[in-house]
Structure 1
Amino acid sequence: MTQTPELELTIGPPAHGGHCVARHEGRVIFVRHALPGEVVKARLTEYDDDARFWRADATEVVQASTDRVNHPWPLADAALAGMRGTRPVGGAEFGHIGLAAQRRLKADIFTEQLARLGKIDRRITVEAVPDESPDGLGWRTRVGFAVDPDGHLAMHEHRSTTLVPVADMPLAVPAINALALWERDFSGVDGVEVAAGSGDEEPLVLLRSTQDPPGRALRALAEGIPGASVAVLNPDTGSVLRLRGRTWVREVVGGHTFRVTGEGFWQIHRSAPRVLTEAVLEGLQPASGARVADLYAGAGLFTAALAERVGQTGSVLSVEGSPAASRDARRNLHGRDHVDIVQGKVEKVLRERRPHLDAVVLDPPRAGAGRETVRAIAGTGAKAVVYVSCDPASFARDVAYFAAAGWGLDSLRVFDLYPHTHHMESVAVLRPL
């Protein structure tokens, strides 16, 4: 068996995606689990001779940065994995970095992406969530696990099909860890998703299985998980079948109550719905009687806040592509006659309806909105767009599309809603020039 090559590298600046840049004999290498200025030994994970760049994982620190700390999750610790000759699990790739330094690196990455892809030179700062825990743990309200051949909950090694059994999830909120699901036998289940709502109800455990109908073993498994609702999600059909309790969780934000079913989208940081809603309203300042749109609206988080602000004399067009999320939105916004909930592709709905709007909230998936959607928004007559993004690269590209349509970036805030990972969330205000 050929041994994986290992190099000693001096680490350069951070790069989007959770890496830092190093160079070896003129070739760029994207290295994970390192810090700028460090000297590390790194095991190559992708290194074809004809590749434009290589990838590597730091396995041993020769000269450490002063920003390096002990990783809070041993399974995600690259140094420990290197000693074992394995790879760390994904999901906490910045855990070896102090929280303040994590935010500085994220700011550097966002600044670089905005300059390179959006052609905007603006120094970014990344804000900590006001009620963040001092260790940056216990914030995830949604987690997902694979199931290994022995029926144990597991996670994948980074960029690998290898499964590693887990016995805790330090990033998850206490209500999820309290279920101790790693003590259960999930044989016959393809995967497990867990959601903990901010309401008073118990968490929802969603079992991925193509058994139709679910057999006795799955029903017995559901009965053996106290303190949780349990349902089965068939990934082939998208159907969700209740086994115990509810098929949804209740979320409460700013006096509004939301029902989010199955795998319906919801912000995963426990404070994100409140923080982002406040930032959206502050940026948009919707007036009574205004005509606004909430695009990629999900279960209606921003729609509800906008509907309250514009009042019955205003209107909200809420557009969502997912049928399940759109159904959630209809339940959550029931009785608000000035809200029009439409299920469909955003660009298609805007093209066919040609709405005349005063303002838009745009919260696209990680891939961004894209040129066609940006053009459609620019044609609505809106005087402001509040853009909520979870990816600096796609955001910067979309900002360039807005610039081509005659719009400029007015304000921008970036929040550290994913501590110990490279991810971040931004809220920007764009206006026609």
Structure 2
Amino acid sequence: MAQILDALSADGVPLRFTAFDGSATGPADAAYGLDLKSPRGASYLATAPGDLGMARAYVAGDLDLVGVHPGDPYELLNAMGDLHFRMPPPKTAAAIARSLGVELLKPPPPPPQEVLPRWRRVAEGLRHSKVRDAEAIHHHYDVSNTFYEYVLGPSMTYTCACYPHDGATLEEAQENKYRLVFDKLRLKEGDHLLDIGCGWGGMVRYAARRGVHVIGATLSAEQAAWAQEAIRQEGLQDFAEVRHSDYRDVTETGFDAVSSIGLTEHIGVRNYAAYFAFIKDHLRTGGMLLNHSITRPDNRRTSTGPFIDRYVFPDGELIGSGTIIASAQDAGLEVRHEENLREHYARTLAGWCANLQANWDACVEEVGEATARVWGLYMAGSRVGFERNVVQLHQVLAVKLDDRGNAGLPLRPWWNA
């Protein structure tokens, strides 16, 4: 196994690799390593090269990460970012295939945490139909509210925080994010806000505490139930409501503002035109939109990669902020400001991983070790992605102009960045 890894590595192996056959490679004194424990793990790696095969082997327990906690394998994944593979010469590839043998080249059944590939999800409807979107959201968000409480912390906020200073805590940064969105939208007491993709209602309750009337919509039944109970406990029923609903089924119009925090990743790039047209139609003249979403650093690719698609966000799509801005403009909204919070998301993910590690035993008891492993791998890997500019996080602020092109806004930004 180790010789095969050496043959495929372009620049050497930067960490320690050991295998069930007794072979090893990489620095003997490396702080981090991989331990391939079984032939089934080798089959996972051989039949799905890349992140999907590694995820299958790791989630199934056939691959162990050495030197890191499964709740936060960031340091190892960061080191693996320097591991580059190459296509071996035909003779070497043939020799590798012979050494593995026929049995190891037969794909084992994937772990039960994995969903079907996109082309086999047709039974759930066309991609980004209401039924299929609901199923995708159910897969990711209806894991367990208790599990999310352990990982996200008291704010129950599953989107990028905004750190006001280096020493800010995760909770302070999440509160500051809601403050930033609230201020950018120029919300005030008596206004009406629509929060689409509202999660557990963090933005809904933040605005309602300040006298704003808010409707939140989420496709997750567990999120909606948790949010409605939180609203009741805070006595905010006269101001706030969270519906278990597709945002496209909201019929009220004339909102002073729309916030969309972490929804755009789920709706599909082809649906951007309809998405922004919906928002414009539901805003009053002079109303504002704050779109907060993960993006790519370019505007060419939309796929999220096989691991993310099969284990984390089925049917998720990412594109550059330029496409988001152009789509908002094409719908007739005027974009007034945008900013990239990429480094903030890396810090947010570090905070979530720290929570997962601190509550590991309870999380495993709640959802099982395999699912907990998926989350540690996904969040730590995403942290590496934000740090290395594989992904970004953009807030785009737009306004619905009147018929004469008037925005009715101050000449300069009115919020505290």
TM-score by length of 1: 0.44
Structure richer in helix, relative to its length = 2
Higher RCO, 1 vs 2 (CA within 8 Å, ≥6 residues apart): 2
